[in-house]
């Protein structure tokens, strides 16, 4: 039996999404495809699969992401699907614990990849927001509306980014002592 669930996660809550997908897998629903805020599951033996997701960032281009997915498939991971800039894998848990990053330096690099993207997205929105509100469409209702939306998106991105930066700082502190 297949089951479709619509759910929305903030980009910086990627670990919450992963946790939720793994809770579903533990209940006997394994992720089979992804789409616009849409997750499709199929029945599985409870706890059979472990799910991992990753933001590809610069590896987004077709060749680069295909190379990466192929590499992961060689290691026994199953490519569940790609949505936008995110890729989802699953692996039978009986084999070994499945995760994509196993040391501090690669986890920090990964967070940096996401932080850079959010910074760019947020920065662009703040810039366009100021531009729309104060320069281009001054006293123009339509321009003001777009500008306000831009500023709002920009502000939300900055809040999310701050959270990830805090998380990265924690990892960096640990990295000073452990590898």
Partner 1 sequence: MSNQALTEAVYYILLSLVKPLHGYGIMQNVEQLSNGRVKLAAGTLYGAINTLLEKGWIVALAEEKESRKKEYVITDLGKQMLRCEIVRLKELIENGNHILEEEA
Q: Which residues bind partner 1 (CB under 8 A)?
A: 54, 68, 70-72, 74-77, 96-97, 99-103, 105-106, 109-110, 179
The packing angle between helices 141-175 and 104-130, to 10°, is: 160
Measured distance CA(64)–CA(150) in Å, rounded: 31
| Minimum CB distance to partner 1, residue 168 (Å) | 16
| Minimum CB distance to partner 1, residue 75 (Å) | 4
Tokens of 35: 């789409």
Is the CB of 84 or the CB of 105 nearer to partner 1?
105
CB 113 within 8 A of CB 161: no
Is the CB of 8 or the CB of 62 nearer to partner 1?
62
Is the CB of 100 or the CB of 121 nearer to partner 1?
100
Measured distance CA(143)–CA(138) in Å, rounded: 7
| Minimum CB distance to partner 1, residue 46 (Å) | 24
């Amino acid at each position: 039996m297949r089951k479709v669930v619509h759910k929305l996660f903030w980009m910086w809550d990627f670990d919450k999404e992963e946790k939720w997908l793994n809770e579903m897998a533990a209940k006997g629903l394994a992720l089979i495809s992804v789409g616009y805020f849409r997750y499709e599951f199929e029945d599985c033996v409870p706890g059979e699969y472990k799910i991992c997701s990753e933001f590809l960032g610069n590896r987004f281009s077709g060749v680069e992401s295909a190379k990466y997915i192929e590499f992961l498939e060689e290691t026994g991971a199953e490519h569940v699907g790609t949505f936008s800039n995110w890729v989802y894998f699953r692996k039978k848990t009986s084999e070994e614990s499945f995760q994509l990053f196993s040391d501090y330096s690669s986890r920090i690099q990964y967070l940096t990849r996401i932080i850079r993207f959010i910074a760019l997205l947020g920065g662009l929105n703040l810039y366009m927001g100021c531009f729309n509100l104060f320069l281009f469409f001054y006293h123009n209702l339509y321009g003001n509306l777009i500008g306000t939306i831009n500023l709002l998106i920009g502000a939300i991105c900055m809040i999310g980014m701050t959270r990830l930066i805090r998380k990265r700082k924690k990892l960096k502190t640990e990295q000073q002592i452990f590898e």
